[in-house]
Protein backbone atom coordinates (compact mmCIF):
# COMPACT_ATOMS: atom_id res chain seq x y z
CA UNK A 1 0.00 0.00 0.00
CA UNK A 2 1.30 3.43 -0.98
CA UNK A 3 2.12 5.78 1.90
CA UNK A 4 0.35 9.17 1.61
CA UNK A 5 2.60 12.13 2.33
CA UNK A 6 1.32 14.63 4.82
CA UNK A 7 2.80 17.94 3.71
CA UNK A 8 2.45 21.29 5.44
CA UNK A 9 0.30 22.50 2.54
CA UNK A 10 -2.04 19.52 2.87
CA UNK A 11 -2.29 20.00 6.64
CA UNK A 12 -2.99 23.73 6.32
CA UNK A 13 -5.57 23.32 3.54
CA UNK A 14 -7.43 20.61 5.44
CA UNK A 15 -7.34 22.74 8.61
CA UNK A 16 -8.62 25.75 6.65
CA UNK A 17 -11.54 23.78 5.15
CA UNK A 18 -12.32 22.11 8.49
CA UNK A 19 -12.69 25.47 10.20
CA UNK A 20 -14.49 27.29 7.38
CA UNK A 21 -18.17 28.08 7.87
CA UNK A 22 -18.74 27.73 4.10
CA UNK A 23 -17.20 26.05 1.09
CA UNK A 24 -14.15 27.88 -0.26
CA UNK A 25 -12.97 28.46 -3.82
CA UNK A 26 -9.39 27.81 -4.91
CA UNK A 27 -8.83 31.58 -4.99
CA UNK A 28 -10.12 31.99 -1.41
CA UNK A 29 -7.91 29.13 -0.22
CA UNK A 30 -4.87 30.66 -1.93
CA UNK A 31 -5.56 34.06 -0.32
CA UNK A 32 -5.98 32.55 3.16
CA UNK A 33 -2.72 30.57 2.86
CA UNK A 34 -0.75 33.84 2.45
CA UNK A 35 1.85 32.46 0.01
CA UNK A 36 2.44 29.13 1.79
CA UNK A 37 2.31 27.38 -1.59
CA UNK A 38 1.58 28.12 -5.24
CA UNK A 39 -1.73 27.59 -7.04
CA UNK A 40 -0.63 24.33 -8.71
CA UNK A 41 0.28 22.81 -5.35
CA UNK A 42 -3.12 23.86 -4.00
CA UNK A 43 -4.87 22.12 -6.92
CA UNK A 44 -2.83 18.95 -6.35
CA UNK A 45 -3.55 18.94 -2.62
CA UNK A 46 -7.28 19.52 -3.20
CA UNK A 47 -7.36 16.65 -5.70
CA UNK A 48 -5.57 14.35 -3.24
CA UNK A 49 -7.88 15.32 -0.35
CA UNK A 50 -10.91 14.62 -2.53
CA UNK A 51 -9.56 11.18 -3.51
CA UNK A 52 -8.97 10.43 0.19
CA UNK A 53 -12.63 11.24 0.95
CA UNK A 54 -11.79 14.23 3.13
CA UNK A 55 -13.29 17.00 0.99
CA UNK A 56 -15.83 17.38 -1.80
CA UNK A 57 -16.38 19.78 -4.69
CA UNK A 58 -19.40 21.98 -5.29
CA UNK A 59 -19.84 23.91 -8.53
CA UNK A 60 -21.63 27.15 -7.64
CA UNK A 61 -24.15 29.01 -9.81
CA UNK A 62 -21.32 31.00 -11.45
CA UNK A 63 -19.44 27.83 -12.43
CA UNK A 64 -16.76 28.31 -9.77
CA UNK A 65 -15.62 25.15 -7.97
CA UNK A 66 -15.78 25.37 -4.19
CA UNK A 67 -14.42 22.85 -1.69
CA UNK A 68 -15.83 21.73 1.64
CA UNK A 69 -14.79 19.27 4.31
CA UNK A 70 -16.61 15.93 4.25
CA UNK A 71 -18.16 14.96 7.54
CA UNK A 72 -19.28 11.40 6.81
CA UNK A 73 -17.07 10.21 3.92
CA UNK A 74 -14.16 7.83 3.63
CA UNK A 75 -11.90 6.84 0.75
CA UNK A 76 -14.11 3.80 0.16
CA UNK A 77 -17.47 5.58 0.50
CA UNK A 78 -17.39 9.16 -0.74
CA UNK A 79 -20.87 10.65 -0.94
CA UNK A 80 -21.97 14.24 -0.68
CA UNK A 81 -25.54 13.87 -1.91
CA UNK A 82 -26.91 16.77 0.10
CA UNK A 83 -28.05 20.28 -0.74
CA UNK A 84 -25.69 23.19 -1.34
CA UNK A 85 -26.93 26.76 -0.99
CA UNK A 86 -25.32 29.47 -3.13
CA UNK A 87 -26.08 33.02 -1.92
CA UNK A 88 -26.69 35.37 -4.83
CA UNK A 89 -25.51 38.35 -2.78
CA UNK A 90 -22.35 37.30 -0.89
CA UNK A 91 -21.59 34.31 -3.20
CA UNK A 92 -20.93 31.98 -0.23
CA UNK A 93 -21.69 28.29 -0.74
CA UNK A 94 -23.04 26.41 2.28
CA UNK A 95 -23.46 22.65 2.68
CA UNK A 96 -26.88 21.77 4.07
CA UNK A 97 -26.27 18.19 5.13
CA UNK A 98 -29.51 17.55 7.01
CA UNK A 99 -31.51 17.79 3.75
CA UNK A 100 -31.03 14.94 1.32
CA UNK A 101 -33.25 15.16 -1.77
CA UNK A 102 -35.05 12.03 -2.87
CA UNK A 103 -34.95 11.53 -6.61
CA UNK A 104 -36.71 9.09 -8.87
CA UNK A 105 -35.09 8.30 -12.20
CA UNK A 106 -36.65 6.64 -15.23
CA UNK A 107 -36.19 2.89 -15.64
CA UNK A 108 -32.63 1.71 -16.44
CA UNK A 109 -31.01 4.92 -15.11
CA UNK A 110 -28.70 4.45 -12.11
CA UNK A 111 -27.48 7.43 -10.09
CA UNK A 112 -24.10 7.21 -8.37
CA UNK A 113 -23.99 10.77 -7.12
CA UNK A 114 -25.64 14.11 -7.65
CA UNK A 115 -25.04 17.76 -6.86
CA UNK A 116 -27.94 20.03 -5.91
CA UNK A 117 -27.23 23.75 -5.72
CA UNK A 118 -29.97 26.09 -4.63
CA UNK A 119 -29.57 29.77 -5.44
CA UNK A 120 -31.05 32.47 -3.22
CA UNK A 121 -30.27 34.80 -0.34
CA UNK A 122 -28.59 33.44 2.81
CA UNK A 123 -29.74 34.41 6.34
CA UNK A 124 -26.77 36.76 6.82
CA UNK A 125 -27.59 38.72 3.64
CA UNK A 126 -31.37 38.64 4.33
CA UNK A 127 -30.74 40.79 7.40
CA UNK A 128 -28.94 43.45 5.37
CA UNK A 129 -31.54 43.81 2.61
**Which residues are part of a known binding site for Fe cation?**
97
Nearest to 88 by CA among 66, 117, 113, 55: 117
Q: Could you write out the DSSP letters of every residue in 75-127?
A: SS-----SEEEEETTT--EEEETT------PPTT---S---EEEEE--HHHHT
Instruction: Write out the binding residues.
Output: 87, 90, 97, 122, 125
Q: Which residues are annotated as a binding site for Zn(2+)?
A: 87, 90, 122, 125
User: What 3-state class would DSSP assign to 110?
Assistant: coil
Of 72, 77, 78, nearest to 115 by C-alpha is 78
Amino acid sequence: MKQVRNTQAKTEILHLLSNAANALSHHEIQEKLNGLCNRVTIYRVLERLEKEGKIHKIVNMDGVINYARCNHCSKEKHSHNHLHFNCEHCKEVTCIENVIPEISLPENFTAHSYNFVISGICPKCSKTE
